[in-house]
Protein backbone atom coordinates (compact mmCIF):
# COMPACT_ATOMS: atom_id res chain seq x y z
CA UNK A 1 0.00 0.00 0.00
CA UNK A 2 1.05 3.53 -0.65
CA UNK A 3 1.90 5.88 2.15
CA UNK A 4 3.01 9.50 2.40
CA UNK A 5 4.54 10.82 5.61
CA UNK A 6 4.91 14.48 6.45
CA UNK A 7 6.47 14.32 9.87
CA UNK A 8 6.45 18.07 10.44
CA UNK A 9 3.01 19.00 11.69
CA UNK A 10 3.72 22.69 12.07
CA UNK A 11 6.65 24.97 11.26
CA UNK A 12 7.01 28.61 12.26
CA UNK A 13 9.59 30.88 10.67
CA UNK A 14 10.30 34.56 10.47
CA UNK A 15 9.87 36.26 7.13
CA UNK A 16 12.88 35.96 4.81
CA UNK A 17 14.04 32.72 6.37
CA UNK A 18 14.41 29.65 4.20
CA UNK A 19 12.25 26.67 5.13
CA UNK A 20 12.17 23.05 3.99
CA UNK A 21 9.09 20.86 4.18
CA UNK A 22 9.81 17.15 4.30
CA UNK A 23 7.95 14.41 2.48
CA UNK A 24 8.75 10.70 2.62
CA UNK A 25 6.77 8.18 0.62
CA UNK A 26 6.33 4.43 0.33
CA UNK A 27 5.25 2.54 -2.77
CA UNK A 28 5.93 -0.78 -4.41
CA UNK A 29 5.49 0.68 -7.88
CA UNK A 30 8.49 1.48 -10.01
CA UNK A 31 6.55 4.16 -11.85
CA UNK A 32 4.72 6.74 -9.81
CA UNK A 33 4.06 10.46 -9.50
CA UNK A 34 4.59 12.88 -6.68
CA UNK A 35 2.78 16.16 -6.14
CA UNK A 36 2.75 19.14 -3.82
CA UNK A 37 -0.40 21.11 -3.10
CA UNK A 38 -0.87 24.31 -1.10
CA UNK A 39 -3.94 25.03 1.03
CA UNK A 40 -3.99 28.70 2.11
CA UNK A 41 -6.23 29.92 4.95
CA UNK A 42 -9.02 30.55 2.42
CA UNK A 43 -9.28 26.77 2.07
CA UNK A 44 -8.78 25.94 -1.60
CA UNK A 45 -6.22 23.37 -2.73
CA UNK A 46 -3.70 24.70 -5.23
CA UNK A 47 -1.53 22.43 -7.37
CA UNK A 48 2.16 23.38 -7.18
CA UNK A 49 4.24 20.70 -8.88
CA UNK A 50 4.25 17.19 -10.31
CA UNK A 51 7.28 14.92 -10.58
CA UNK A 52 7.48 11.43 -12.10
CA UNK A 53 9.64 8.68 -10.66
CA UNK A 54 12.03 8.68 -13.60
CA UNK A 55 12.97 12.30 -13.28
CA UNK A 56 15.19 13.02 -10.32
CA UNK A 57 16.24 16.46 -11.46
CA UNK A 58 15.63 19.14 -8.93
CA UNK A 59 13.25 21.86 -9.96
CA UNK A 60 13.19 25.55 -9.15
CA UNK A 61 10.32 27.93 -9.69
CA UNK A 62 10.97 31.37 -8.32
CA UNK A 63 11.39 31.07 -4.55
CA UNK A 64 10.20 27.43 -4.61
CA UNK A 65 12.45 24.44 -5.18
CA UNK A 66 11.92 20.71 -4.95
CA UNK A 67 14.46 17.98 -4.20
CA UNK A 68 13.49 14.46 -5.29
CA UNK A 69 15.70 11.60 -4.09
CA UNK A 70 14.60 8.06 -4.91
CA UNK A 71 17.38 6.60 -2.76
CA UNK A 72 15.74 8.00 0.35
CA UNK A 73 12.15 8.05 -1.00
CA UNK A 74 11.90 11.73 -0.33
CA UNK A 75 10.44 14.69 -2.18
CA UNK A 76 11.24 17.77 -0.13
CA UNK A 77 10.03 21.29 -0.78
CA UNK A 78 12.05 24.40 0.03
CA UNK A 79 10.81 27.97 0.13
CA UNK A 80 13.59 30.52 -0.07
CA UNK A 81 13.17 33.92 1.56
CA UNK A 82 9.76 33.04 2.94
CA UNK A 83 6.95 35.60 2.95
CA UNK A 84 3.80 35.96 5.02
CA UNK A 85 1.76 34.98 1.96
CA UNK A 86 3.44 31.57 2.06
CA UNK A 87 1.55 30.77 5.26
CA UNK A 88 -0.58 27.74 4.43
CA UNK A 89 -0.87 24.00 4.84
CA UNK A 90 1.25 22.14 2.33
CA UNK A 91 0.36 18.62 1.24
CA UNK A 92 2.57 16.07 -0.43
CA UNK A 93 0.77 13.39 -2.47
CA UNK A 94 1.61 10.19 -4.33
CA UNK A 95 -0.14 8.62 -7.31
CA UNK A 96 0.34 5.23 -8.83
CA UNK A 97 1.16 5.05 -12.52
CA UNK A 98 -1.88 4.73 -14.74
CA UNK A 99 -0.72 1.66 -16.59
CA UNK A 100 -0.23 -0.48 -13.51
CA UNK A 101 -3.95 -0.51 -13.06
CA UNK A 102 -3.80 1.57 -9.95
CA UNK A 103 -6.03 4.12 -11.47
CA UNK A 104 -5.78 7.71 -10.63
CA UNK A 105 -5.84 7.72 -6.84
CA UNK A 106 -3.88 10.29 -4.91
CA UNK A 107 -2.62 9.37 -1.46
CA UNK A 108 -2.10 12.52 0.57
CA UNK A 109 0.16 13.14 3.52
CA UNK A 110 -1.28 14.74 6.62
CA UNK A 111 0.08 18.14 5.67
CA UNK A 112 2.51 20.63 7.21
CA UNK A 113 1.18 23.90 8.56
CA UNK A 114 3.65 26.67 7.71
CA UNK A 115 3.38 29.95 9.57
CA UNK A 116 5.51 32.83 8.38
CA UNK A 117 5.62 35.74 10.78
CA UNK A 118 6.91 39.27 10.41
CA UNK B 1 -9.92 29.83 -17.71
CA UNK B 2 -12.62 28.59 -15.35
CA UNK B 3 -11.48 26.17 -12.72
CA UNK B 4 -13.51 23.52 -10.93
CA UNK B 5 -16.68 25.12 -9.62
CA UNK B 6 -18.41 23.85 -6.51
CA UNK B 7 -21.64 24.93 -4.91
CA UNK B 8 -22.66 25.83 -2.35
CA UNK B 9 -19.52 27.18 -0.60
CA UNK B 10 -21.13 26.73 2.78
CA UNK B 11 -24.05 24.60 3.91
CA UNK B 12 -25.56 24.39 7.37
CA UNK B 13 -28.44 22.04 7.89
CA UNK B 14 -30.21 19.98 10.50
CA UNK B 15 -29.47 16.34 11.12
CA UNK B 16 -31.66 14.08 9.01
CA UNK B 17 -31.97 16.48 6.10
CA UNK B 18 -30.85 15.66 2.60
CA UNK B 19 -27.74 17.48 1.42
CA UNK B 20 -26.71 17.86 -2.21
CA UNK B 21 -23.28 19.16 -3.20
CA UNK B 22 -22.60 20.17 -6.79
CA UNK B 23 -19.53 20.25 -8.98
CA UNK B 24 -18.69 21.47 -12.46
CA UNK B 25 -15.32 20.11 -13.63
CA UNK B 26 -12.87 21.86 -15.91
CA UNK B 27 -14.01 21.54 -19.50
CA UNK B 28 -12.23 18.70 -21.29
CA UNK B 29 -11.24 16.82 -18.16
CA UNK B 30 -12.19 13.14 -18.23
CA UNK B 31 -11.82 12.35 -14.55
CA UNK B 32 -13.79 13.73 -11.63
CA UNK B 33 -13.10 13.08 -7.96
CA UNK B 34 -14.90 13.72 -4.69
CA UNK B 35 -12.83 14.12 -1.51
CA UNK B 36 -13.68 14.79 2.10
CA UNK B 37 -11.36 16.68 4.46
CA UNK B 38 -11.60 16.47 8.25
CA UNK B 39 -9.14 17.22 11.02
CA UNK B 40 -9.20 13.63 12.19
CA UNK B 41 -8.85 11.83 8.87
CA UNK B 42 -7.26 14.39 6.57
CA UNK B 43 -8.07 14.20 2.85
CA UNK B 44 -9.98 11.08 1.85
CA UNK B 45 -11.00 10.07 -1.65
CA UNK B 46 -14.67 9.15 -1.67
CA UNK B 47 -15.34 8.26 -5.31
CA UNK B 48 -14.08 9.00 -8.78
CA UNK B 49 -15.55 8.95 -12.28
CA UNK B 50 -14.05 8.45 -15.71
CA UNK B 51 -16.10 9.69 -18.65
CA UNK B 52 -19.11 10.02 -16.35
CA UNK B 53 -18.87 6.40 -15.16
CA UNK B 54 -18.08 5.66 -11.49
CA UNK B 55 -14.80 3.74 -11.33
CA UNK B 56 -14.09 3.34 -7.64
CA UNK B 57 -16.51 4.16 -4.84
CA UNK B 58 -14.71 2.22 -2.13
CA UNK B 59 -14.15 5.40 -0.17
CA UNK B 60 -17.83 6.21 0.19
CA UNK B 61 -18.41 5.82 3.91
CA UNK B 62 -21.97 4.52 3.98
CA UNK B 63 -25.05 3.93 1.91
CA UNK B 64 -26.23 7.34 2.99
CA UNK B 65 -23.73 8.75 0.51
CA UNK B 66 -24.32 8.64 -3.23
CA UNK B 67 -22.73 10.36 -6.21
CA UNK B 68 -23.82 10.82 -9.79
CA UNK B 69 -22.38 12.30 -12.93
CA UNK B 70 -25.19 12.66 -15.48
CA UNK B 71 -22.98 14.43 -18.01
CA UNK B 72 -19.41 15.60 -18.55
CA UNK B 73 -19.99 18.97 -16.95
CA UNK B 74 -21.88 18.16 -13.78
CA UNK B 75 -21.68 15.91 -10.75
CA UNK B 76 -23.50 15.68 -7.44
CA UNK B 77 -22.67 14.19 -4.08
CA UNK B 78 -25.73 13.51 -1.96
CA UNK B 79 -26.04 12.63 1.71
CA UNK B 80 -29.39 11.33 2.88
CA UNK B 81 -30.04 11.39 5.76
CA UNK B 82 -27.25 13.62 7.01
CA UNK B 83 -25.60 13.19 10.42
CA UNK B 84 -23.38 15.49 12.50
CA UNK B 85 -20.34 13.29 11.79
CA UNK B 86 -20.68 14.14 8.10
CA UNK B 87 -19.56 17.69 8.89
CA UNK B 88 -16.43 18.32 6.82
CA UNK B 89 -15.11 20.16 3.81
CA UNK B 90 -15.99 18.35 0.60
CA UNK B 91 -13.79 18.91 -2.43
CA UNK B 92 -14.36 18.12 -6.05
CA UNK B 93 -11.37 17.76 -8.39
CA UNK B 94 -10.90 16.98 -12.06
CA UNK B 95 -8.06 15.96 -14.36
CA UNK B 96 -7.22 14.88 -17.88
CA UNK B 97 -7.05 11.20 -18.77
CA UNK B 98 -3.75 9.34 -19.18
CA UNK B 99 -4.04 9.56 -22.95
CA UNK B 100 -3.09 13.18 -22.66
CA UNK B 101 -0.11 12.55 -20.43
CA UNK B 102 0.48 10.34 -17.44
CA UNK B 103 0.27 11.52 -13.88
CA UNK B 104 -2.01 14.39 -14.73
CA UNK B 105 -2.49 16.69 -11.74
CA UNK B 106 -5.88 16.97 -10.18
CA UNK B 107 -7.28 20.48 -10.01
CA UNK B 108 -9.49 21.17 -7.02
CA UNK B 109 -12.51 23.35 -6.49
CA UNK B 110 -12.78 25.70 -3.54
CA UNK B 111 -14.70 23.12 -1.52
CA UNK B 112 -18.03 23.05 0.27
CA UNK B 113 -17.90 23.52 4.04
CA UNK B 114 -20.72 21.36 5.39
CA UNK B 115 -22.03 21.62 8.94
CA UNK B 116 -24.69 19.24 10.18
CA UNK B 117 -26.32 20.39 13.41
pLDDT tens, B34-72?
Answer: 999 999 999 999 999 988 999 889 899 889 999 999 999
Task: Look at B14 and A54; give whichever has higher pLDDT.
Answer: B14
3-class state of residue B98 by DSSP: helix
Structure confidence by residue, pLDDT tens digits, A37-80: 999 999 999 999 988 888 888 888 899 999 999 999 999 999 99
A45 touching B (Cβ < 8 Å): yes
Q: Write out chain B residues lying below 8 Å of A40, CB-based.
A: none
pLDDT band, very low/low/confident/very high, at B96 (cuts 50, 70, 90): confident
Contact B45 A106 (CB under 8 A): yes
Q: Is the pLDDT of residue A1 over 80?
A: no
Gap from B111 CA to chain A (nearest CA, Å) = 7
Decide: A97 and A32 in contact? Cβ < 8 Å.
Answer: yes
Question: Which residues 90-109 of B are in CB contact (within 8 Å) with A?
Answer: 91, 93, 95, 98, 102-109
Q: What share of chain B is helix, strand, coil (3-state, %, to 5)?
A: 5, 55, 40
Identify the pLDDT of residue A101: 44
pLDDT tops 90 at residue B1: no
Tell me the β-bridge partners of B21.
Answer: B77
Amino acid sequence: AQKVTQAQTEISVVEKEDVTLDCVYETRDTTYYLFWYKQPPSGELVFLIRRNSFDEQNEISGRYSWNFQKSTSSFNFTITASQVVDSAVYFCALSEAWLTGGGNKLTFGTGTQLKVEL
Amino acid sequence: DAGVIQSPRHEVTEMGQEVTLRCKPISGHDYLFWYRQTMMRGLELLIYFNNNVPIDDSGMPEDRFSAKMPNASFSTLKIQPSEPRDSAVYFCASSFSPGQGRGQPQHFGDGTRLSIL
